[in-house]
Each structure stands twice: as C-alpha cells, then as structure tokens.
Amino acid sequence: MTQCHTVKTRVAQALKRPSAGMMTGMLPIRASSSAMQLSGLQMNNKMFITQNVLEKQVAIMKDENIPKQLKASDEYVYRHMGNSKGITEKTILEFLGVSSVEELMDQVVPKGIRLTPETRFKHNGLELEGIDSEVLMLERLRQLADNNVINKSFIGQGYYGTNTPSVIRRNVLENPRWYTPYTPYQAEIAQGRLEALLNFQTAIMEITEMEVSNASLLDEATAAAEAVQMSYNHHNGKRIKYFVSDSLFPQTIEVIKTKCHAIGIDLEIGPTDTFDFEKATEYSGMIVQTPDNFGTVHDYESLGKSVKESGMIFTIVSDILGNCILKTPGAMGADIAVGSAQRMGIPLGYGGPHPGYFASTDKLKRKLPGRIIGISKDVHGNQAFRMALQTREQHIRRDKATSNICTA
C-alpha cells in the first residue's frame, strides 16, 4: 500500500510541473488511462486531450521516478515526430507560407474528412458514444461483427476454407521469426528457413510422386504460366503453339494468356478430346487440371502417354490434398505438376497470399523456375542447407535466366 501511495504521489506531483519547449497546436494524442487511473485522476471520457494536459503528459514521460509501466508509450508525437516547437517547425511553416500547423491542416485536409474530438466516433454514420479508448473501440467493433451472418463458401475455384491447427498458427504464422525474415541470400543466417523450404519440397515430391520440386512460387496461376513457358523453353522456342484445357480455373487461364502474349506463344484453348494429335509436333506442351473447374476428377494417364509420345511436355494442375487419395500427377505420367498449397492449412486471407507448388521430372530440373534448396556441408564439415539451384535473373546472367518469379 505504501509503494502504491508513493507512486500516486509522484504522478500527481509530475502533473503539477510545467514543461518547457512543448509543441503547441500539434496533433491531439491519447492519454495513458492506466497512469491517470493510478494517480486518482479522471479522464472524463475524453480521448483527445488539451495542450495543458499534453504538457503534463510530457512531464510524466520525463520523470525518472515514475515507473515505466505507468507512462504512455503509444503517442504519435513521441514515436513519429522528431522535432520540437522551435527553429525546425518555424522554418517549415515559414517555407510553406502559413502561420501555424492548424492553418496548414485547414489548407491541405478537406473539412469533410477531417476528424475532430466531436466527430471522432461518428464517422461514416457509425455512432460510438462513450468510447474513449482503443480497448472499448475494439470491443464495440466485435459486438457489431457478431451481427454478421457467416455462411460457408462453395465458390471454390482454387480457394477453400481450411482448418489451421492452432499450434501451427501461433508458432509459425504468428511468429515474427518466421514471417519477418527476408529471402535467405545469406545461408549462414537463414538455416531455419532453408530447412523449412526443404521440408516443403520434400512434402510436394512425396505427395505428387514427382522427382524434383522447387521452393514454391507465388500461386497456382503463376505456377501454371511458368509451366507453359518452361515447356516452350524446353523446345528452344521452335514449337510456338501450346494447348490449354478449357476446364482450368478461369484465373489460371487469364494469367497464362498474359504470359503467352508477352513471350509470343500461340495459345489454343479448348476441350482435350478435340485436340488434333496429327499436328502435335507444332505444340510445345499441354496443360490439364484435376479436379477441374467443374469439380470433375480425371484420370489423364492415357492422355499423358499420347502427349509425351508426340514430344510435348505434359503438365497437370492438381489439388495437393486430392493427391493423397486420387491418382497423382506422377502416376499419370506428368512431366510437370503445379497447383496451390493453400489447401495445406493456409487461411484464405481475402484471396492471398498463397504459395504455389511446382514439381517436375529430373530431366527438366535445369529449367525449373524459382529456387531449389539442397543440403551441403559448411567449412567445418557439418550439414548445412543452401540454395542449390537458382534460375532467377537476379542470381545468374539474364540471358540464362528461366524466370523472374520469386519464392512465396
């Protein structure tokens, strides 16, 4: 009790001390409700405070006798505004030809969208009276969200609701050690991420029964487009035609169209049963999908044999989870297998981001887009992970690059 009383006394004393050199007319900030409550003061339900209270807040921040946990730490001014009222602000205002920050705000921010203490919680018709803190605001928004009717989506077409185990969500998706690292150019400080990518490659190879997998692409559509270009490159540009099944997802077909237009590939879209194999030597490859845009499951083994006998590259777009119970691309004789890894428990996230997988036969690995993670040894002879194959133009000579697509 004595310690608490001492803390309250120190806060109260700090609030009485004036602060020199404080900015006037700056953006209003939120007071620390915890400090105010412990000091026995009342906020009077006002989220925006006056200049006088602002100066007292600064005094609290500077008082070394007040415990850190009692000081506000999220004010805009202290986090983002490096200058104080003085030469810097005066110079800026004179250069702009205004006398104060308020005058500047009046000139640059339309009054129709400018918030004031009176309209702060009445924006866009949303009445939130009595809200004076972020906590209460979030609680009110949750109450409003509870009125939403949550329906199941049957739209599909490559985007499906998934169940992400909480242990994975917390320890991987919400773990900054995983979601903040940049591309692992320096293998010595990215062993954890490289190992995760190697595990991803291994899982894709096992599920699709393909021989090689890269470390992922951006999504299913870009993976399919890369497969088309890879087929074209395999024939050194001599076969300029490519056949696309019309049962692919529409967004995949659109991305393929864009890719082929830029490269100069003559695209043909239609049902696979209408393909003329007598002219197959003009085509660099064919791409099909199972389950397709209409939900139909196909066995493309027979079609794949005919395609490969004609010298074309056969690509199958497949559902990665469907491969666990259906015939895999490898079993159907695919040269390339692509698809979306979103089905492996990744939330929809309003359409992305979602990794696309890309696997192929061993003979095509030198033309595989993206990156392949491998195992090597460091200078001490210990096992180490590294980027074994990199085909992006930023890693190798541009004329030798096969893709500019990055790892998801």
Place of tokens 């205002």: 93
Closest CA to 402 of 357, 372, 374, 361: 372
- Give the pLDDT mean for 244-272: 95
Distance separating alpha carbons of residues 243 and 227, to the nearest angstrom: 12
Q: Are 209 and 328 in contact (CB under 8 A)?
A: yes
Residue spans of the domains in the chain: they are 2-82, 176-400
Return the number of other C-beta atoms located less than 10 Å from residue 338's C-beta: 31
| Residue 212: band (very low, low, confident or very high) from pLDDT cuts 50, 70, 90 | very high
Q: What is the largest CA-CA distance in the chain?
A: 95
Distances (CA, A) of 201 to 105, 241, 295, 371: 54, 30, 27, 10
Distance separating alpha carbons of residues 363 and 140, to the nearest angstrom: 59
Q: Which CATH architecture has domain 176-400?
A: 3-Layer(aba) Sandwich (3.40)
Distance separating alpha carbons of residues 339 and 93, to the nearest angstrom: 56
pLDDT at 27: 35
Helix (H, G, I), strand (E, B) or coil at 348: coil
Token pair recorded at residue 160: 């499906």
| Residue 10: band (very low, low, confident or very high) from pLDDT cuts 50, 70, 90 | very low
State the burial class of residue 163 (Cβ atoms within 10 Å of its Cβ: 0-12, 13-18, 19+): exposed
Q: At what angle do helices 51-62 and 2-16 cross, to 10 degrees?
A: 130
Residue 361 neighbours by CB under 8 Å, 6+ apart: 210, 211, 212, 335, 336
- Give the pLDDT mean for 47-59: 56
Percent of the chain with pLDDT over 90: 38
Distance separating alpha carbons of residues 173 and 342, to the nearest angstrom: 13
| Residues found in the chain | 408
pLDDT: which is higher, 70 or 44: 70
The region of weakest confidence among 119-128, 323-332, 345-354 is 119-128
Q: Are 238 and 265 in contact (CB under 8 A)?
A: no
- Give the pLDDT mean for 45-49: 40
∠ at Cα 300 (200, 224), nearest 5°? 45
Mean pLDDT taken over the chain: 78
Distance separating alpha carbons of residues 196 and 172, to the nearest angstrom: 11
- Each residue's pLDDT tens digit, 326-343: 999 999 999 999 999 998
- Given a cut of 60, whether residue 1 has pLDDT beyond it is no
| Residue 30: band (very low, low, confident or very high) from pLDDT cuts 50, 70, 90 | very low
pLDDT at 14: 43
pLDDT at 327: 96
Residue 196 neighbours by CB under 8 Å, 6+ apart: 178
Q: Are 158 and 220 in contact (CB under 8 A)?
A: yes
| Residue 240: band (very low, low, confident or very high) from pLDDT cuts 50, 70, 90 | very high
Q: Are 15 and 72 in contact (CB under 8 A)?
A: no
| Residue 374: band (very low, low, confident or very high) from pLDDT cuts 50, 70, 90 | very high
The region of weakest confidence among 68-77, 114-123, 187-196, 203-212 is 68-77
- Give the pLDDT mean for 87-104: 84
- Each residue's pLDDT tens digit, 148-160: 888 877 777 888 8
Distance separating alpha carbons of residues 296 and 248, to the nearest angstrom: 11
Distance separating alpha carbons of residues 130 and 143, to the nearest angstrom: 15
Percent of the chain with pLDDT over 70: 70
Distance separating alpha carbons of residues 91 and 93, to the nearest angstrom: 6
| Residue 209: band (very low, low, confident or very high) from pLDDT cuts 50, 70, 90 | very high
